[in-house]
Chains A and B, each alone.
Chain A
């Protein structure tokens, strides 16, 4: 799985950091998401798919879902 994060789209909702905290974090100042691991291990795939699905800005794309 490869994760692509479209940062300008991010609205700092923090849904991804809540659903997949090992793969996403948020910047302290404005809350914009930080992609910690663009190629997460398999045990993270379900939560990353969930994060992509609930992202209110559709800013997370999985190239090999």
Chain B
């Protein structure tokens, strides 16, 4: 990555004494420039000769290896932390900032966000905001007063473009530098896009408002991708009177995530509500008339929404020495290197509860991981592994779907309560010999709680499920039958094709501009910006 031109206003790295030189008064929300770090710590950390630069930290870190020495643990001499930089001002970054203060951290907290808006909530973007039930203001996560109380050195519209591991500074698109003693990476993800003409995506408030404006009655909307986001948008668009076509490469939407039987039930809801659902369809590109399939067929549309997954915003970390493999690779303490942590959508960490490396793009995880990582950042010698039961919900038509645990790669799914055809059920997921997940539609909390508890305590499948479950679900378990295996395989193949094409686009855009997104909001990206400008 090319370093930006030096900022004449930036302090020399070897003479760091306070963060005030780095402040951007125009957007600083409080009087944090006057804050004196509890302990001055700058010199030992910025001097590569005396301190572990990031590179050294990475060598010592345990990224992704559960049995190696964790980076989140004490690694020797540690300087007190006076300045924390959080890159990414969405749910995870905000949770981290609040946790630092709640835990008594009195030093400088610099929060960088690439969107213009103060932190806001994303799940309503494809729900209440898109349907106009809520105004945008209702999505703001904190009031102005609450922000002021946090005494943050807040820089919005500020995209991080680089991380200097030796001097321990974050560079931004404007050429500014922000020195840190500890770093929290919460830069989130951005939507994958299609080749061809710009199409709608749904990640930022701006995206949602732009799409909302176009969803008038009778509008022909094509949604590419029938995952949870695409399904929610299709559901809202139908409610607004649009003609909706939902295109999905897999034979059964979401089968890879929730299993075939549940995927089928969720798909039926689309058809029942008048959505044209086409599965096994590979989309090649967005074109003037709509979208072109890989066989050349064009499906006409007034508006096209692309919801084919996301890409972690990690390009700005190139050359930092951090390991990036579909996210910032962290150990079970959410540490990527000594003094460097990651949380939220961008973080890939080892979750000991499930024994696997995972990256979770759920709202709840962003907050929980931001909190956990912040605590570990402050207490590296006494870090606690981050072992959550992932949770997400989805609103589709009249269904509210709750899912707990790690459903992906399950070996078996069974309906243990209610009935799938009634769309009122609880499905349990097995991996090896244990219960790893549960998905509920229309079930009361009393029915769900024990299952969540079982997942949290790694209960054996035989103990959790017993003999109460229906047997037919076993026969269609995602990976236990020929049909299931075929479907899953088909999903992977077509998915990979679509993703491959998308990745190329992203990579090209990134290469052309040499900067990428730098905040948790995963917002405007090179490709995303193109969408904005041209649509």
Residues of A whose CB lies within 8 Å of any CB of B are: 9, 11-15, 17-18, 26-31, 49-50, 53-58, 65
Contacts and interface: CB of A to CB of B under 8 A. Distances in A.
A12 B367 contact: no
Given A18-B449, A54-B368, A57-B123, 7 more contacts: A12-B400, A13-B364, A13-B391, A15-B391, A28-B445, A29-B444, A30-B400
Given A11-B393, A13-B391, A56 B444 contact: no
A17 B99 CA distance: 20
A9 B395 CA distance: 13
B513 to A, nearest CB: 33
18 contacts: A11-B393, A11-B395, A11-B400, A13-B391, A13-B393, A14-B448, A15-B391, A18-B449, A26-B445, A30-B400, A31-B402, A54-B367, A54-B371, A56-B362, A56-B364, A56-B391, A56-B393, A65-B149
B343 to A, nearest CB: 13
User: Which of A15, A18, A50, A55 is the most central at the interface, judged by chain B CB atoms within 10 Å of its CB?
Assistant: A18
A55 to B, nearest CB: 8
A54 B388 CA distance: 12
B451 to A, nearest CB: 12
Interface SS of chain B: helix
B95 A28 contact: no
A53 B364 contact: no
CB-CB nearest 4 A-B residue pairs: A26-B445, A31-B445, A56-B364, A56-B363
B240 interface: no
B445 A54 contact: no
A25 to B, nearest CB: 9
Interface residues of B, number: 26
B402 A12 contact: yes
B402 A53 contact: no
A46 B395 CA distance: 31
B95 A53 contact: yes
Contacts of A58: 121, 141
User: Which of A17, A29, A49, A53 is the most central at the interface, judged by chain B CB atoms within 10 Å of its CB?
Assistant: A53
B364 A15 contact: yes
B123 A14 contact: no
Contact of B444 (A9, A28, A50): A28
Contacts of B395: 11
A53 B99 contact: yes
Contacts of B102: 49
Contacts of B362: 56
Interface of B: 95, 98-99, 102, 121, 123, 138, 141, 149, 362-364, 367-368, 371, 391, 393, 395, 400, 402, 444-446, 448-449, 452
B364 A17 contact: no
Contacts of B444: 28-31
A31 B371 CA distance: 25
A15 B388 CA distance: 12
A4 to B, nearest CB: 11
Given A12-B393, A12-B402, A28-B444, A53 B449 contact: no
A53 B96 CA distance: 10
A10 B402 CA distance: 13
Contacts of A27: 445
A50 B445 CA distance: 20
A51 to B, nearest CB: 11
Contacts of B123: 11, 56-57
B371 A53 contact: yes
A65 B99 CA distance: 12
A53 to B, nearest CB: 6
Contacts of A14: 445, 448-449, 452
B267 to A, nearest CB: 23
A15 B452 CA distance: 11
A15 to B, nearest CB: 7
A31 B20 CA distance: 47
Nearest to A6: B138
A18 B367 CA distance: 16
B445 A57 contact: no
Nearest to B139: A58
A39 B490 CA distance: 54
Nearest to B400: A12
A15 B364 CA distance: 9
A49 B99 CA distance: 10
A20 to B, nearest CB: 15
A13 B446 contact: no
Contacts of A50: 371
Nearest to A33: B445
A55 B98 CA distance: 14
Contacts of B445: 12, 14, 17, 26-28, 31
Nearest to B99: A53
Contacts of B367: 53-56
A48 B129 CA distance: 28
Contacts of B393: 11-13, 56
A29 B443 CA distance: 8
A29 B102 CA distance: 35
Contacts of A49: 102
A50 B367 CA distance: 10
A39 B398 CA distance: 34
A17 to B, nearest CB: 7
B275 to A, nearest CB: 23
Contacts of B402: 12-13, 31
